[in-house]
């Protein structure tokens, strides 16, 4: 079965993600990100020093936003890798492809 250029590119990007998520590098990066997220998510007493209530509230909101962005990014990468694996299984099993 011949795939069009756009589909081949989607598959190529999916392969990169799927291979990367399986590797040691992703495990390391994810662990480092988790540590950074925990640091951002913690309330360090030094953030209270010399700041008004409004400044503290803003900083806490900003930290929460950054944490959400990083967590969502990790989930997106892993979901894309998983989706690629499922798509590849379907492509490899041509019995499920409708030929017209």
Q: Which two tokens stand for residue 49?
A: 């020093």
Q: Is residue 82 within 8 Å of 17, Cβ to Cβ?
A: no
* C-alpha to C-alpha distance for 33 and 10, rounded to whole angstroms: 26
Q: What is the CA radius of gyration of the chain?
A: 21
pLDDT tens column, 55-99: 988 988 998 999 999 999 999 999 998 888 888 777 777 655 555
How large is the average pLDDT for residues 13-42? 91
Q: Is residue 15 within 8 Å of 84, Cβ to Cβ?
A: yes
* C-alpha to C-alpha distance for 68 and 60, rounded to whole angstroms: 12
């Amino acid at each position: 079965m011949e795939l069009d250029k756009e589909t081949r590119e989607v598959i190529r990007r999916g392969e990169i993600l799927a291979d990367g998520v399986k590797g040691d590098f992703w495990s390391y990066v994810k662990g480092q990100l988790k540590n950074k997220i925990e640091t951002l998510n913690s309330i360090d007493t030094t953030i209270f020093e010399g700041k008004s209530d409004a400044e503290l509230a803003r900083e806490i909101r900003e930290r929460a936003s950054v944490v959400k962005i990083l967590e969502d990014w990790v989930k997106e990468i892993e979901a894309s890798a998983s989706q690629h694996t499922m798509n590849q299984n379907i492509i490899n099993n041509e019995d499920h492809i409708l030929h017209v």
